[in-house]
Amino acid sequence: MGKLTDSVNELRKSKVKTEVERKLRIFSDFNKKNNKEWFGEMCFCILTANSKAKTAIEIQKELTASGFCTRCLSELRGTIKKHKHRFHNNKARFIVEARKHVDVKDKIKNIADKGVKGQAEAREWLVKNIKGLGYKEASHFLRNIGYFELAILDRHILNLMKEDGIINEKPKSFTKKRYLGIEEKFRQLASKLGMGPAELDLYMWYMKTGFVLK
C-alpha cells in the first residue's frame, strides 16, 4: 500500500473518523425522506457540477426542497446568481426541466435498489434523463441519499489518485468507459482498505479540503 492508504489509515485513528461515520448515517437516513426532499438533493448535485460544493450548499439552504420544486425560472436564476455560483442560467433551467420527474412513481424516489447493480442502473437512468447530471454528479446524488457503492470522481479524488500513482493522468473529460475504468480502481482501493467507496471518498475529500462535506 502507498502513501495514500497510509494517510487514510491515519485519519481512521483520528477524530475525522467520527465525522465520517456521522455523515454516512445522515446519508443512510436520507433514504427515508420523501420524493421532494430527494429532488432537492438532486438539485444540489446539479449545482455542484463545475462549481464549489460550499456555494451549492448555501443555495440549497436558502431555497430548500420546496423552493427547488416551486420557484420560477427567474427566481431560481436570481438566487443562484446572487451566490456568485457559476452557470446560473443553465443550472436554473436544468432544475426546472427536472421537475417533470418529481411526482412520477418509480423515478426519483424509487430508482435504486440496495445492490451494486441497482445503483449502477439508477446512475445510468439519471445520466440519461436528468440534464446537468453526469456520472460524477449522479454518483454524488446516489451517495447522498444512502447508496454507497459508486465513486464520485471529482478533482480532489482524481488528484489524489494521480499523486499516488493509481492513475497515470487526470482526465480532462470523461467518457462512460473512462469513468467506469477509474471507478473500478477506486473501488479496488476501498476494498484493500476494508471500506466502501462512500467512506473512502469522505476521507480523501478531507485530505484535500480539511472538511467532511456532503
Active-site residue, selected from the candidate residues 36, 107, 154, 201? 154
User: What domain range includes position 11?
Assistant: 3-27+151-209
**102 has a pLDDT exceeding 80:** no
What total number of domains does the chain contain? 2
**Is 214 domain-assigned?**
no
Q: Are 165 and 2 in contact (CB under 8 A)?
A: yes
Query: CATH number of the domain that 71 lies in?
Result: 1.10.340.30
Alpha-carbon dihedral sign for residues 43, 26, 123, 99: negative
Instruction: Indicate the burial class of 87 (C-beta count within 10 angstroms; 0-12, 13-18, 19 or more).
Output: middle
Regarding whether 194 and 163 lie in a shared domain, the answer is yes
Active-site residue, selected from the candidate residues 36, 91, 136, 214? 136
Regarding whether 175 and 157 lie in a shared domain, the answer is yes
What whole-number percentage of the chain has pLDDT above 70? 93
| Averaged pLDDT, 131-155 | 95
Task: Read off the DSSP letter of residue 134.
Answer: -
pLDDT in tens, 14-57: 999 999 999 999 999 998 888 889 999 999 999 999 888 999 99
Regarding whether 120 and 92 lie in a shared domain, the answer is yes
Q: Among the three residues 106, 123, 144, which one is the final residue of a domain in this structure? A: 144
**106 has a pLDDT exceeding 60:** no
How far apart are the C-alpha atoms of 44 and 134, rounded to whole Å?
13
Half-sphere exposure of 150 (CA within 13 A, CB side): 30
Regarding whether 156 and 140 lie in a shared domain, the answer is no
**Is 51 domain-assigned?**
yes
Please state whether the predicted TM-score (pTM) of the whole model is above 0.75: yes
| Averaged pLDDT, 103-121 | 67
Regarding whether 78 and 8 lie in a shared domain, the answer is no
Regarding whether 23 and 47 lie in a shared domain, the answer is no
Query: CATH number of the domain that 8 lies in?
Result: 1.10.1670.10
Q: Among the three residues 119, 144, 169, which one is the final residue of a domain in this structure? A: 144
Is 136 among the residues known to form the active site? yes
